[in-house]
Chain A
Amino acid sequence: MSAELIPYITEARPDTGLTNGKIGIWCFLASEVMLFGAFFASYIVLRTSAVEWPHGSSILNVPLATVNTVVLISSSVTMVMAWASLMRNDLSKYRLFLGLTVMFGFCFLGIKTVEYSAKFEHGLLPSTNNFMAIYFIMTGLHGLHVIGGMIVNAYFLFAAPSYWEHDRELLANRVENSGLFWHFVDLVWIFLFPILYLL
């Protein structure tokens, strides 16, 4: 239905130079910036109006979070490599790098699970204080974004052969958009890490 009705899915519109999906993903990311922006703003308001606010590193596990930061940055690198392999028409390398990206995602979630369960064991819950509460809601929502990105990437990993047959350019466009989202999720963590763990 759509191919006949809707132009500019694969090729860019000449006067804007963009595909529909590209504008769509940037609009989505703009709303995501407002979402996490409002979380960061809430964090600032809560912290500045609190009588006391614990130092993040005295409660949270900084070494584990550092490892997680490295993991997420690596996954962003492999994400770019996956897209670059597609542009060079190398399907097997694409699958290798995208597979690595998804694997790094699992790695991140695994470490996060270790961190969460340690907190629960020590009785540190959202009801403990507002620092723990904002820690859980911000990292929890970020974790949901990681899972969302992994699902999309896994789909492009397994659906790649059939895309490859029909429309390579479309696959490359979509992987690029999925990559934009993945980098954004990575970027959010780069902000979460210092404000929750270090400051």
Chain B
Amino acid sequence: MEARHESPAHKHAADHGHGHAHHEPGFLEKYIFSTDHKTIGLQYAVTALFFLMFGFTLMMMMRWQLAYPGVPMPLIGGLLGEARMPGGVMTPDFYNELGAMHGTIMVFLGVVPLGVGGFGNYVLPLQIGAKDMAFPRLNMISYQFFFVGGVMMMATFFMPGGAAQSGWTSYPPLSDINPGQTGWIVSMIFIITSSLLGAINFIVTTIQLRTKGMSFWRFPFFVWAQFVTSFLLLLAFPPLEVGAFLQLMDRVAGSSFFLPSGLVVSGQILPVAGGGNPLLWQHLFWFLAHPEVYVLILPAMGIVAEVLTNNTRKPLWGYTAMVYSIIFLGFMSFIVWAHHMFMTGMGSGIAAFFQTTTMIISVPSVVILAALFLSLWGGSIRFTTPMLFALAFLPMFGIGGLTGLPLGLTSSDIQLHDTYYVIGHFHYVVAPGTVMAFFAGLYYWFPKATGRKMSETLGKAHFWLTFICMNGVFMPMFWLGLAGVSRRLYDGGASYAHAQHVLWLNGVSSWSAWIMGAAQLLFIFNFFWSMRRGEKVDRNPWNATTLEWEAPSPPPHGNFVKDVVVYRGPYDYSPRGYSSDFRPQAQEA
């Protein structure tokens, strides 16, 4: 839809007869209003990394309150104002703000924009041999929506009433009544719009802009992962948008979609018409938020598959089975959502249905994980930094997945629901799982984007500190949860007589979090230092087979120097009777 609306600058370039080769874009056009998928990918990635660090900082503050309830916070305790931290001690309301915003930021402003917006935008067009996304201007607009939504979300901290306090799940009636929620909803509408536009762009690009010879069965697994993810975003986000509109009406226009009749708040019956259904929000929310879990994990699986094959120098084990699994996974993720709601009083028949689908969806996940493990068998593994992170993903995601099974079965969920066990479970999937994979991807594709490698020494130090501390943060939560500590406690369980013997684990968890936070400084330093001083590399430093390595590092506008043609599948490592241990997809037979 783009060709008609050329900007004057581009018209000028076209007049030269050589297109953009002679056209030097200005700063704004090059970095802020760029329609180049690589610039937009980097914009997404950098913004998302900032949000991840910000969201993590909120959590590091909460961890002080959990480990040392009521003790004034050192260093920054006095800086945040008497209203939120009188005497350096966090108020319960501020704790709730931090909790809600940590979840929202990490999921919607951190992990998804990095995995889909960042890696997807940068790598997917390169891997299918496209020169750009199908709708470049739409791509730019989708980043801008995301950016505005993110800034608005941050700004809610400074609005009257503060930021949202009802958790990232925003369950009504609480969220209909609590302050701060309206800003959350409006920001979410922006973020949802951004995701929808992005998803359409990804699907069209993948189907239409494949280069010659790039059939679907020659896609790198990363492309499949992004393709399925895009369908999840496209079809799962609209119901949440509906939920957001209904909640906005409840808050602004006085309707009662989620407010039952006769609701008593602070001893007073709420003066609304009533007759609404709070459970409706939970259905609308989880209809998005369960597929969203797979939006978080599928790009990570794609990255791991790329890094793993490249560093074992072997083809991916069971590529076909993995592709069918990921498609099935995407499909099934739409019919498991109510396993988040076993304790809300749904009928046991419905619970049995969702328990069954939940058990079924674990099968394709296990197929993918098993295939990744088997890909290691008999390989001569190069332990590079990206490979270490990719290897760490396997057991971490395994722990996250397996600890989810007791939560998917109704009878054991009764014991575990709303305890720290749940927090441990989903963080093992998303934090040690997805975040590990993202680091693998950052170290792996950094040379492509900058033409320089990141320092291996700093990278390995960063890996080991992160890996050990990550487990230190989340492993204790399983014990806390099994001991019955609720996830919603402001004092970390200090008021629970039955939990006194496990409370020391809060300290383990908190100190691990703070050390891990410090370890990320290594990454930040490495990132900026390597951009200028890192070892210079050619276009294919890892001896990889996929198409992104055919382009120069960094790829110019239009990506490839000449048109690439694909002759074979994605992972032709160590082919028999061939002179080198890898045969690129674009290598003529």
- CB of B176 closer than 8 Å to a CB of A: no
- CB of A114 closer than 8 Å to a CB of B: no
A30/B273 contact (C-beta < 8 A), A7-B209, A23-B203, A38-B284 known: no
Taking the closest CB of chain A, its distance from the CB of B570, in whole angstroms, is 19
- A130 & B280 in contact (Cβ 8 Å cutoff): no
Task: Please indicate the chain B residues that have their CB under 8 angstroms from the CB of A46 in the complex.
Answer: 257, 275-277, 280
- CB of A148 closer than 8 Å to a CB of B: no
Give per-residue flags for B236-268: 1 if the beta carbon is below 8 A from chain A beta carbons, else 0. 111101110110010001111100010000000
- CB of A199 closer than 8 Å to a CB of B: no
- CB of A74 closer than 8 Å to a CB of B: no
- A31 & B196 in contact (Cβ 8 Å cutoff): yes
- B136 & A6 in contact (Cβ 8 Å cutoff): yes
- CB of B562 closer than 8 Å to a CB of A: no
A130/B238 contact (C-beta < 8 A), A2-B3, A24-B135, A50-B275 known: no
Q: Could you say which of B3, B242, B254 contacts A3, with CB atoms under 8 Å apart?
A: B3
Task: Please indicate the chain B residues that have their CB under 8 angstroms from the CB of A18 in the complex.
Answer: 207-208
Give per-residue flags for A30-44: 1 if the beta carbon is below 8 A from chain B beta carbons, else 0. 111011011101100
Task: Please indicate the chain A residues that have their CB under 8 angstroms from the CB of B131 in the complex.
Answer: 5-6
- B134 & A6 in contact (Cβ 8 Å cutoff): yes
- A1 & B253 in contact (Cβ 8 Å cutoff): no
Q: Which of A8-16, A56-64, A81-89, A99-107 contacts B (4 or more CB under 8 A)?
A: A8-16
- CB of B461 closer than 8 Å to a CB of A: no
Task: Please indicate the chain A residues that have their CB under 8 angstroms from the CB of B352 in the complex.
Answer: none
Question: How many residues of chain B have a CB within 8 Å of chain A?
Answer: 53
- B204 & A127 in contact (Cβ 8 Å cutoff): no
Taking the closest CB of chain A, its distance from the CB of B166, in whole angstroms, is 20
Q: How far is the CA of A37 from the CA of B237 in the complex (A)?
A: 12
Taking the closest CB of chain B, its distance from the CB of A32, in whole angstroms, is 7
- CB of B350 closer than 8 Å to a CB of A: no
Taking the closest CB of chain A, its distance from the CB of B259, in whole angstroms, is 9
Task: Please indicate the chain A residues that have their CB under 8 angstroms from the CB of B136 in the complex.
Answer: 1-2, 5-6
Task: Please indicate the chain A residues that have their CB under 8 angstroms from the CB of B6 in the complex.
Answer: 1
CB under 8 Å from chain A, chain B span 346-405: none
- A126 & B238 in contact (Cβ 8 Å cutoff): no
Pick the most buried of A1, A129, A163, A170: most chain B CB atoms within 10 A of its CB. A1
- B196 & A127 in contact (Cβ 8 Å cutoff): no
Q: Could you say which of B134, B238, B273 contacts A129, with CB atoms under 8 Å apart?
A: B273
- B134 & A137 in contact (Cβ 8 Å cutoff): no
CB under 8 Å from chain B, chain A span 160-199: 163, 166, 170, 174
**Smallest CB-CB separation from A40: which chain B residue?**
B242
- A170 & B19 in contact (Cβ 8 Å cutoff): no
- B235 & A30 in contact (Cβ 8 Å cutoff): yes
Task: Please indicate the chain B residues that have their CB under 8 angstroms from the CB of A8 in the complex.
Answer: 208-209
- CB of B283 closer than 8 Å to a CB of A: yes
Task: Please indicate the chain A residues that have their CB under 8 angstroms from the CB of B283 in the complex.
Answer: 45
- B255 & A127 in contact (Cβ 8 Å cutoff): yes
Taking the closest CB of chain B, its distance from the CB of A5, in whole angstroms, is 4
- A13 & B208 in contact (Cβ 8 Å cutoff): yes
Taking the closest CB of chain B, its distance from the CB of A86, in whole angstroms, is 16
Taking the closest CB of chain B, its distance from the CB of A163, in whole angstroms, is 7
Task: Please indicate the chain A residues that have their CB under 8 angstroms from the CB of B13 in the complex.
Answer: 1
**Smallest CB-CB separation from A53: which chain B residue?**
B275
- CB of A21 closer than 8 Å to a CB of B: yes
- A137 & B246 in contact (Cβ 8 Å cutoff): yes
- B209 & A133 in contact (Cβ 8 Å cutoff): no
- B134 & A24 in contact (Cβ 8 Å cutoff): yes
- B238 & A42 in contact (Cβ 8 Å cutoff): no
CB under 8 Å from chain A, chain B span 269-317: 272-273, 275-277, 279-280, 283-284, 287
- B4 & A170 in contact (Cβ 8 Å cutoff): yes
- B272 & A130 in contact (Cβ 8 Å cutoff): no
Main DSSP-derived SS at the B contact region:
helix
Task: Please indicate the chain B residues that have their CB under 8 angstroms from the CB of A137 in the complex.
Answer: 245-246, 249, 255
Q: How far is the CA of A105 from the CA of B254 in the complex (A)?
A: 30
Taking the closest CB of chain A, its distance from the CB of B29, in whole angstroms, is 11
Q: How far is the CA of A4 from the CA of B279 in the complex (A)?
A: 51
- CB of B335 closer than 8 Å to a CB of A: no
Give per-residue flags for B173-209: 1 if the beta carbon is below 8 A from chain A beta carbons, else 0. 0000000000000000000000010011101100111
Q: How far is the CA of A38 from the CA of B241 in the complex (A)?
A: 9
Task: Please indicate the chain A residues that have their CB under 8 angstroms from the CB of B200 in the complex.
Answer: 24, 27-28, 31
**Smallest CB-CB separation from B283: which chain A residue?**
A45
Q: How far is the CA of A31 from the CA of B192 in the complex (A)?
A: 11
Q: Could you say which of A5, A21, A31 contacts B235, with CB atoms under 8 Å apart?
A: A31
Task: Please indicate the chain B residues that have their CB under 8 angstroms from the CB of A125 in the complex.
Answer: 253-254
**Smallest CB-CB separation from A130: which chain B residue?**
B275
Task: Please indicate the chain A residues that have their CB under 8 angstroms from the CB of B279 in the complex.
Answer: 45
Taking the closest CB of chain A, its distance from the CB of B312, in whole angstroms, is 33
**Smallest CB-CB separation from A159: which chain B residue?**
B4
- B256 & A133 in contact (Cβ 8 Å cutoff): yes
Pick the most buried of B201, B254, B275: most chain A CB atoms within 10 A of its CB. B275
- B238 & A20 in contact (Cβ 8 Å cutoff): no
Q: Could you say which of A6, A21, A38 contacts B132, with CB atoms under 8 Å apart?
A: A6
Taking the closest CB of chain A, its distance from the CB of B121, in whole angstroms, is 15
Q: Could you say which of A27, A35, A141 contacts B203, with CB atoms under 8 Å apart?
A: A27
Q: How far is the CA of A7 from the CA of B210 in the complex (A)?
A: 10
- CB of B234 closer than 8 Å to a CB of A: yes
**Smallest CB-CB separation from A27: which chain B residue?**
B200
**Smallest CB-CB separation from B196: which chain A residue?**
A31
Q: How far is the CA of A38 from the CA of B236 in the complex (A)?
A: 10
**Smallest CB-CB separation from B256: which chain A residue?**
A130
Q: How far is the CA of A35 from the CA of B85 in the complex (A)?
A: 41
**Smallest CB-CB separation from B203: which chain A residue?**
A27
A21/B1 contact (C-beta < 8 A), A16-B208, A129-B273 known: yes
Task: Please indicate the chain A residues that have their CB under 8 angstroms from the CB of B1 in the complex.
Answer: 9, 20-21, 24, 174
- A35 & B241 in contact (Cβ 8 Å cutoff): yes
**Smallest CB-CB separation from A50: which chain B residue?**
B275
- B253 & A45 in contact (Cβ 8 Å cutoff): no
Task: Please indicate the chain B residues that have their CB under 8 angstroms from the CB of A163 in the complex.
Answer: 4
A126/B4 contact (C-beta < 8 A), A6-B134, A24-B204 known: no
- B10 & A23 in contact (Cβ 8 Å cutoff): no
Taking Cβ atoms with an 8 Å cutoff, the residues of B that contact A are 1-4, 6, 10, 13, 19-20, 35, 131-132, 134-136, 196, 199-201, 203-204, 207-209, 234-239, 241-243, 245-246, 249, 253-257, 261, 272-273, 275-277, 279-280, 283-284, 287, 558
The 22 listed contacts between A and B (C-beta, < 8 Å) are: A1-B2, A1-B20, A2-B2, A6-B3, A6-B132, A6-B134, A18-B208, A24-B1, A27-B203, A31-B235, A32-B238, A37-B239, A38-B241, A38-B243, A46-B257, A51-B275, A130-B256, A136-B253, A137-B255, A163-B4, A170-B3, A170-B4
List 15 additional contacts besides A6-B3, A30-B234; criterion CB under 8 Å: A16-B208, A20-B135, A23-B208, A24-B204, A27-B199, A27-B203, A28-B196, A34-B236, A38-B239, A42-B246, A42-B280, A46-B257, A129-B273, A137-B249, A174-B1
Top 10 closest A-B pairs, CB basis?
A: A127-B254, A133-B255, A35-B238, A38-B239, A34-B238, A38-B242, A2-B2, A126-B253, A126-B255, A5-B131
